[in-house]
Amino acid sequence: MEKWLVVAGIWAMCAACAVLFIRGATGRSDRRAIADGHARAASRASAGDRRAALND
């Protein structure tokens, strides 16, 4: 019985770490902001800086 608790505990920790790793590795979805037509100000500013740098 104790052996199965240890195995289940290790498996649960591996599963939790995998879920957190996959969740952290994926980019944040800004679909709601884009659908509303409101892009984040920081992303807009950095895109403008990038365009200005490319034009120089």
Total structural domains in the chain?
A: 1
* Chain segment 10-45, per-residue pLDDT in tens: 999 999 999 999 998 787 666 665 556 655 555 555
Question: Structure tokens of 50?
Answer: 């990038």
Predicted confidence at residue 26, as pLDDT, reads: 80
Q: In Å, what is the CA distance from 19 to each residue of 7, 11, 13, 35? A: 18, 12, 10, 28
- Domain containing 31: what range? 2-55
Query: Quick one: DSSP state of residue 36?
Result: T
Query: Which position has the token pair 């950095």?
Result: 46
Predicted confidence at residue 33, as pLDDT, reads: 55
Higher model confidence: residue 53 or residue 40?
Answer: 53
pTM (2 decimals)? 0.45
Higher model confidence: residue 1 or residue 9?
Answer: 9
DSSP H or E stretch at residue 38: none
Pseudo-torsion of CA 7, 12, 15, 17, nearest 10°?
Answer: -110
